[in-house]
Amino acid sequence: MLEMFDTKALGFFVPAPTWGIEDIPDLTGKVAIVTGANTGIGKQSAKHLLQSGATVYAAARSEEKCLNAIEDIKAETKRSDIHFLHLDLGDIAQSYSAGLEFAKSHDRLDMLINSAGVMTPPKGSRTKDGYDLQFGTNCIGHFAFSQPLLKLLRSTAKTAPANSVRIVWVSSAAHFLGSKEGIDFESITEVSRVSPFYHYSQRHVCEMLHTLSERSKLGSIHLANECANRLRDDGIISVSLRNISTDLQRNMWLVRTFMPLYSASLGCLTQLYAATSTDVTMADTGSYYVPWARKYHPSHPKANDPDSQRSTWEFCQAQLEKVVGPTVGLS
């Protein structure tokens, strides 16, 4: 497994960034949603988007925690155009409803940053709908939330400057630890027979397929790439990235001890680059980025496989439609 020694992919020996917060363009008039904006990298991303002129919607499950984060951001930026958006990614119906209500009540959405995540919770943890908590939150939940927003993103892209409408799916270096055969969808509802880290890696291949977190991370990559394929003609850029995590590793002493971890203020750079940099164009849709703001490649052999990407998308679509019926996003 040579990818285990790929220091660039894993985040060791990361060179100094060549792109910084000061390079974020003026975002006046633009609207952004950041999931997981109550803490860590999501909170830092929301702060810098607001500081750069965007209207920001901070999406999170806990209203109390998110409102506290919003007050912190307002105090630091001296700006007030940031708002709480209730989002429980562990509940398919609520995630879909949150996206649908936003789409009905707003006339534009320029940036969707799917940054929230769960990593290695206690074994057997499930979502409200009975799925493994990691894959269910990181992949299915984000899919359900994003689907009703696609029409709004497409309408925004018709009038926005070229290459400016983006979807960013945050994955992880852990995606390469998933099975080399790809995602075992049956295991997602049989959480007692496998370890939590197994599901985490699966989720992160998913995120690259949809724009493009172990299996959950693999899923994120899949979703990113498949989303890129489906939205390319609409002028929407979809990318995934390997980020530097902070709060996410709170249940993993091994990662906290041996993996290189960085502050959230530095860790947010890659997703802010993917969401805002004028260097990112339609030619980059479906790409994968690593710290700091460098295009690279995912380490899993199935990450860039079109059939695997499509399977992850269709699995998430099927789980969504079991709950809400036929959807009007991208089937």
- Residues facing residue 224 across a β-bridge: 209
The residue from 115, 164, 171, 245 that is catalytic is 171
Please give the structure tokens belonging to residue 323. Answer: 């709950």
Chain length of the chain: 331
Of the listed 57, 131, 198, 200, which one is catalytic?
200
Q: Which helix or strand (DSSP H or E) is residue 30 part of?
A: none
Active site residue 200: yes
- Among this protein's residues, is 217 annotated catalytic? yes
- The CA distance from 154 to 36, in Å, is 23
Pairing of strands 288-290, 294-296: antiparallel
Sign, CA dihedral 319-58-285-181, equals negative
The set of residues, in sequence order, having a beta carbon less than 8 Å from that of 42 and lying 6+ positions away, is 34, 35, 36, 58, 60, 113, 115, 116
Looking only at the bridges linking them, the beta strands covering 166-171 and 237-242 are parallel
Q: In what order do the strands lie in the sheet with 111-114?
A: 82-86, 55-60, 31-35, 111-114, 166-171, 237-242, 288-290, 294-296
Cis peptide before 292 (omega within 30 of 0): yes
Nearest alpha carbon to residue 143 among 320, 310, 274, 309: 320
Q: 217 — phi, psi (to 5°)?
A: -75, -35
Tokens 């409803």 belong to which residue? 97
- Does residue 171 carry a catalytic annotation? yes
Of the listed 30, 47, 217, 302, which one is catalytic? 217
- What residues are annotated to the active site? 171, 200, 217
